[in-house]
Amino acid sequence: MDLSMPVSPSFAIASRSRQASLVWGSRRVTVGGGAPVRVQSMTNTDTVDVIGTAIQVKELAMAGSEMVRLTVNTHEAAKAVPLIRDQLDRMGIDVPLIGDFHYNGHRLLTEIPECAQALSKYRINPGNVGKGDKHDRQFAVMIEAAIRWDKAIRIGVNWGSLDQELMANLMDQNSRRIHPWDVKSVMYEALISSAISSATQAVELGMNPDQIILSCKVSGVQDLVSVYRELSKRCDYALHLGLTEAGMGTKGAVASATALAILLQDGIGDTIRVSLTPQPGESRTQEVVIASEILQALELRSFVPSVTACPGCGRTTSTTFQELTQQIEMFLRTQMPQWRTKYPGVEHLKVAVMGCIVNGPGESKQADIGISLPGTGEAPAAPVFIDGEKCMTLRGDSIAQEFQVIVENYVEKRFGIPLGNRV
């Protein structure tokens, strides 16, 4: 065995795409071209409901969404968009809005210019722009609006609404091959061709290629990996990554995380959305939480302090350990909206909550601040480690509350802006 070489650390490769900018007023969010991989989300309110939609956009933004997409499906919805933008500005919510257009985008963007102006990006689905000779004309109208108002666009192709004329054409070509491809390969080709040829068309109409973002969404993990690997080889546009119709709950979260992690690790993807169907009563913000966790797990971004917790086993004596882990996770997440500005860098904090002496002290020492709860047969004492050193032992029924205070004090001391530097 050769021990002369160290084991190389693994890391996600940086994307090398062009950079798009989503601008609103004097503010800007960049996508691609070395910018951090952005988290985005989509509302599920009726866009006509200005207050309800503004509140949901606010919730998504507070949870960490860096851009939010709205359905713009009717004249009423288009008229609501500038009102939502104004409402968000009044609430001090700094997030760009993206309009999701299908079928009638060409009309909405020209007939309601205030909508075209209030949005920072237009999502155009080439499969839903119009059929036959209308397709190119209506597509051109949307691109002209983007050029006129200086907006970014996403050419968002979707497996479920693929351009049927293009697909029929490719199937026809395929049937003339000596060795025809399987239908899936033709479908992959149709998705990629639709995105790239639409982008080429947009550039020919005068669109700045930097302002074009592409996506080719499918609902299967392996399909998504195949399509995006090829898409990223064929172009340098910024890419929006996401598994469409990922599903609900654990299934949706796991499928999205699996697909996105494979691609992001290879430097493919500049902005991500987790298209999760919310469980009844579940907050829409769950998709933002999962997207952020994917980026944080890959060490591409840091959004909230991380909590290392063991799974617990027969050595854990009570539910205290699970309760403490849950409480501390919740506490850190709810503090983040204020902590982000008050304690710069706090998102890099590492906390450990461990169930017993087996791995507890070791893992706690690796964290900035950690606690090792007593397991079966251990003395009822919970040592606390700060910056790798054991510094106190907690006992009794209020370990959770005391540990929370210790974390808060640590955050204030380490990340607090000194009084003299506050503005």
Question: 110-142 in b/e burial notation, b at 16+ Cβ within 10 A?
Answer: eebeebbbbbbbbbbbbbbbbeeeebeebbbbb
375 is a site residue for ligand SF4 (CB under 6 A)? yes
Contact residue for ligand SF4 among 355, 361, 370, 383 (CB under 6 A): 355
CA distances from 102 to 71, 81, 129, 139, 157 (A): 9, 16, 6, 11, 11
Neighbours of 379 (CB within 10 A): 9
Smallest gap from Cβ 333 to ligand SF4, in A, equals 22
Q: Which helix (H) or strand (E) covers residue 393, if one does?
A: strand 389-394
The answer to whether residues 88 and 58 touch, using CB atoms and an 8 Å cutoff, is yes
Tokens of 119: 């949005």
Strand 271-272, strand 350-354: pairing: unpaired
Binding residues are 310, 313, 356, 363
Smallest gap from Cβ 330 to ligand SF4, in A, equals 20
Nearer to ligand SF4, 51 or 313 (CB): 313
User: Which of the stretches 126-134, 195-203, 309-317, 329-337 binds ligand SF4 when contact is defined by CB under 6 A?
Assistant: 309-317
User: Which of the stretches 81-89, 97-105, 142-150, 355-363 binds ligand SF4 when contact is defined by CB under 6 A?
Assistant: 355-363
315 is a site residue for ligand SF4 (CB under 6 A)? yes
For ligand SF4, how many residues bind (rule: CB under 6 A)? 13
Smallest gap from Cβ 372 to ligand SF4, in A, equals 8
Q: How many residues does the chain have?
A: 423
Nearer to ligand SF4, 296 or 359 (CB): 359
CA distances from 255 to 42, 263, 416 (A): 18, 13, 38
Q: Which residue is nearest to ligand SF4 (CB)?
A: 355
Q: Which helix (H) or strand (E) covers residue 226, if one does?
A: helix 221-234
310 is a site residue for ligand SF4 (CB under 6 A)? yes
Smallest gap from Cβ 363 to ligand SF4, in A, equals 7
Smallest gap from Cβ 270 to ligand SF4, in A, equals 38
Smallest gap from Cβ 375 to ligand SF4, in A, equals 5
Strand 20-24, strand 247-248: pairing: unpaired
Q: Which helix (H) or strand (E) covers residue 101, if one does?
A: strand 97-101
Give bridge partners of residue 23 from the DSSP assignment: 28
Residue in the structure block whose two tokens are 């493919």: 268
Smallest gap from Cβ 312 to ligand SF4, in A, equals 5
Tokens of 234: 């064929």
67 is a site residue for ligand SF4 (CB under 6 A)? no
359 is a site residue for ligand SF4 (CB under 6 A)? yes
Contact residue for ligand SF4 among 316, 325, 335, 364 (CB under 6 A): 316
354 is a site residue for ligand SF4 (CB under 6 A)? yes
Check residue 316 and report its DSSP letter: B
User: Which of the stretches 19-27, 57-65, 258-266, 311-319 binds ligand SF4 when contact is defined by CB under 6 A?
Assistant: 311-319
Neighbours of 150 (CB within 10 A): 12
What three-state secondary structure class fits 198? helix
Nearer to ligand SF4, 101 or 321 (CB): 321
Q: How far is it, in rounded angstroms, from Cα 301 to Cα 356?
A: 30
Nearer to ligand SF4, 283 or 317 (CB): 317
Which residues, 6 or more positions from 219, have their beta carbon under 8 angstroms from its beta carbon? 159, 160, 243, 244, 245, 246
User: Which of the stretches 1-9, 135-143, 339-347, 353-361 binds ligand SF4 when contact is defined by CB under 6 A?
Assistant: 353-361
Nearer to ligand SF4, 274 or 354 (CB): 354
Binding residues for [4Fe-4S] cluster are 310, 313, 356, 363
Closest CA to 105 of 137, 66, 132, 83: 137
Contact residue for ligand SF4 among 147, 203, 358, 406 (CB under 6 A): 358
Smallest gap from Cβ 400 to ligand SF4, in A, equals 17
Tokens of 402: 């005391």
Smallest gap from Cβ 354 to ligand SF4, in A, equals 5
Nearer to ligand SF4, 320 or 359 (CB): 359
Contact residue for ligand SF4 among 92, 281, 311, 396 (CB under 6 A): 311
Nearer to ligand SF4, 219 or 327 (CB): 327
- Counting DSSP H helices and E strands in the chain, the numbers are 13, 17
Smallest gap from Cβ 332 to ligand SF4, in A, equals 20
Check residue 315 and report its DSSP letter: T
**Residues lying near ligand SF4 in the complex (CB under 6 A):** 310-313, 315-316, 354-356, 358-360, 375
